[in-house]
Amino acid sequence: MHDRSAAALVIGNEILSGKVVDTNAAFLAQELRALGVTLRRILVIPDEVDVIAEAIRASHPAYDLLFTSGGVGPTHDDVTIAGIARGLGCGVVRHPILEQKIREFSGDKLNEARLKMAEVPEGAELIFAGDLNFPTIQIRNIVILPGIPEIFRAKFHAMKTRFASDPYFMRVIYTRAQESTIAEFLNATLAAFPELQLGSYPKLGDPEYRVRVTLESKNPQYLNRAFEHLLAHLPSDTIVRTE
Amino acid sequence: MHDRSAAALVIGNEILSGKVVDTNAAFLAQELRALGVTLRRILVIPDEVDVIAEAIRASHPAYDLLFTSGGVGPTHDDVTIAGIARGLGCGVVRHPILEQKIREFSGDKLNEARLKMAEVPEGAELIFAGDLNFPTIQIRNIVILPGIPEIFRAKFHAMKTRFASDPYFMRVIYTRAQESTIAEFLNATLAAFPELQLGSYPKLGDPEYRVRVTLESKNPQYLNRAFEHLLAHLPSDTIVRTE
């Protein structure tokens, strides 16, 4: 099975101080899963060059893909490019193609703040994808995305086919049994199918079911055998439905 | 100024795989900010003992408070207690008071899965707060909270006064100027008030304003001087309103 791992690095004081609720990480989690990419961690950190650099040093060798969100605008708190460059031990340079695009786009509004958005870590490439006006900056395995959700999503959608890995398959069992009642059956299935990704999610106050059990694998035959194993062991009168 | 730092550790495959959108971290960010506690990072990791242990080793000495969310139920994927214990280099023990409460609560439904929820890292204390049935487990500076949002919130609210630090004060300026236009004024204010926490948040497609500028400090006099400084420099015809 071909599997790709990923990490998300969300950069922004506004999220840590509760002023803005991040939605990019959850979006990324869903999109990467659909692409068969295994998201291994999400880290939210402040707009500080040293903290970003440390996170880059720790994350970029450990995962196949690293997505950053935020900190790429024109103001003082946009320090993602500087943080990534420091983390990789390279300089920050103005990319000539970005500079040209910003000059064209800005007209007589051109200023230093706008030109700051032409800066990239030295050695970065520009990914032109879809019909978007501005390319996405990538250096090594690091894909640098902006924090504004609409643009984050548009850029990701335009590029996503290049990240695709083998897909995950999922089956779901909804049960009205309590989680502590079915724990032994989950354990038995996991003992028989150790590679299975098995999740158990209680829901409070739902009239239909108490626990949603998810079974996942990249191998559909293995998944179906595990599914049948668990279904055969759960008390049948507690099963609400399956998917 | 008395300041307390914190980190949040969210544990759960379901979040990384996009099946569940975490809301506990955003809740914690807002609540801690209101309490004057500075949240320095949010880390979301899978239900794996070694990964949790590594995160605990890295985080618990670095921050005054560390809150964990998730992984404390009765099933195979609930490994937060084991991960914290491994990270701290201590054992896992059954807490006699928790065991007694679970036995009383369970009656004839008592089983090994339920008794698993009496396990704590050795040396943990139980925090009884509010009118909640079950106490919260704390060890050193680590507060262990469940992933179910309703219970996470109820437990946090019942305990929160014990975390309070000096409050933050905030002023806000809404402007219809573009972010790249005001960047130089933000930089000038930050140069004059280097301790100021200054944020600049563009909003796409809002008919009222283009950028929300937030100014924050634990020192209200310092904050007001910085606020007046910035207000005096911004082009007055671009200011929509202030808070």
pLDDT in tens, A143-178: 999 999 999 999 999 999 999 999 999 999 999 999
Q: Which of residues 169-208 of B touch A (CB under 8 A)?
A: 178-184, 186-187, 190, 197-202, 204
In chain B, the domains with their CATH numbers are: 4-163 (3.40.980.10), 169-242 (3.30.70.2860)
Element (H, E) at B198: strand B197-202
The yes-or-no verdict on residue A1 having pLDDT over 60 is no
**End-to-end CA separation in angstroms for chain A:** 24
Shortest distance, CA A48 to any CA of chain B (angstroms): 11
The per-residue pLDDT for range B28-41, each reduced to its tens digit, is 999 999 999 999 99
Give the residue with greater pLDDT, A96 vs A131.
A96
Tokens 């242990």 found at: B53
Q: At what angle do helices B24-34 and B149-159 cross, to 10 degrees?
A: 20
The yes-or-no verdict on residue B130 having pLDDT over 90 is no
Tokens 């207690």 found at: B81
The yes-or-no verdict on residue B1 having pLDDT over 60 is no
CA distance A187 to A178: 15
**Interface contact flag, B76 A21, Cβ < 8 Å:** no
> How high is the pLDDT of residue A2?
73
ipTM of the complex as predicted: 0.94
Residue A76 pLDDT level (bands cut at 50, 70, 90): confident
> How high is the pLDDT of residue A3?
86
Element (H, E) at A14: helix A13-16
**Interface contact flag, B42 A44, Cβ < 8 Å:** yes
Q: What is the DSSP letter of B157?
A: H
> How high is the pLDDT of residue B187?
92
B194 three-class SS: coil
Residue in A closest to B190 by C-alpha = A76
Token digits for B181?
């236009």
The whole-number average pLDDT for the span A69-77 is: 91
B39 three-class SS: strand
Chain B residues whose CB is inside 8 A of the A151 CB are 204
Residue in A closest to B194 by C-alpha = A76
Tokens 């006099």 found at: B221
The per-residue pLDDT for range B103-115, each reduced to its tens digit, is 998 888 899 989 9
Interface test with B, best of A42, A69, A160, A184 (most B CBs within 10 A): A42
Q: Least CB-CB distance to B75: which of A31, A168, A179?
A: A179
The whole-number average pLDDT for the span A64-92 is: 95
The whole-number average pLDDT for the span A47-58 is: 97
Chain B residues whose CB is inside 8 A of the A33 CB are 17-19
Q: What is the mean pLDDT of chain A?
A: 94
The per-residue pLDDT for range B200-233, each reduced to its tens digit, is 998 888 899 999 999 999 999 999 999 999 999 9
Task: With CA atoms as reference, report the closest residue to B138 among B66, B35, B82, B47.
Answer: B66
Percent of chain B with pLDDT over 70: 100
The yes-or-no verdict on residue B194 having pLDDT over 60 is yes
Task: With CA atoms as reference, report the closest residue to B42 among A63, A76, A20, A151.
Answer: A20
Chain B residues whose CB is inside 8 A of the A169 CB are none
Tell me the C-alpha to C-alpha distance, in Å, between residue A204 and each of A208, A238, B68, B117, B148.
Answer: 11, 16, 20, 18, 8
Residue in A closest to B151 by C-alpha = A204
Shortest distance, CA B16 to any CA of chain A (angstroms): 6
How many CB atoms sit inside 10 A of residue B22's CB? 24
The letter for the amino acid at B41 is R
On whether the CB atoms of residues A51 and A19 are closer than 8 A, the answer is: no
> How high is the pLDDT of residue A116?
92
Q: Is the dihedral of CA A51, A57, A58, A62 positive or negative?
A: positive
Chain A residues whose CB is inside 8 A of the B183 CB are 74-76, 111-113, 116
C-alpha radius of gyration, chain B, whole number:
22
Residue in B closest to A203 by C-alpha = B148
Chain A residues whose CB is inside 8 A of the B151 CB are 204
Shortest distance, CA A123 to any CA of chain B (angstroms): 26
Largest CA-CA distance found in chain B, in angstroms, rounded: 72
CA distance A203 to A160: 32
Extended strands (E) in chain A = 4-11, 37-45, 65-69, 92-94, 119-121, 125-127, 136-139, 142-145, 169-175, 197-202, 211-217, 239-242
The per-residue pLDDT for range B50-66, each reduced to its tens digit, is 999 999 999 999 999 99
Q: Which of residues 99-118 of B touch A (CB under 8 A)?
A: 106, 109, 111-114, 116-117
Interface test with A, best of B9, B201, B243 (most A CBs within 10 A): B201
Residue in A closest to B21 by C-alpha = A26
Residue A129 pLDDT level (bands cut at 50, 70, 90): confident
The per-residue pLDDT for range A192-227, each reduced to its tens digit, is 999 999 999 988 888 999 999 999 999 999 999 999
> How high is the pLDDT of residue B129?
86
Residues 6+ positions from B189 with CB-CB distance below 8 Å? B196, B198, B226, B229, B230, B233
> How high is the pLDDT of residue B81?
98
The whole-number average pLDDT for the span A82-111 is: 94
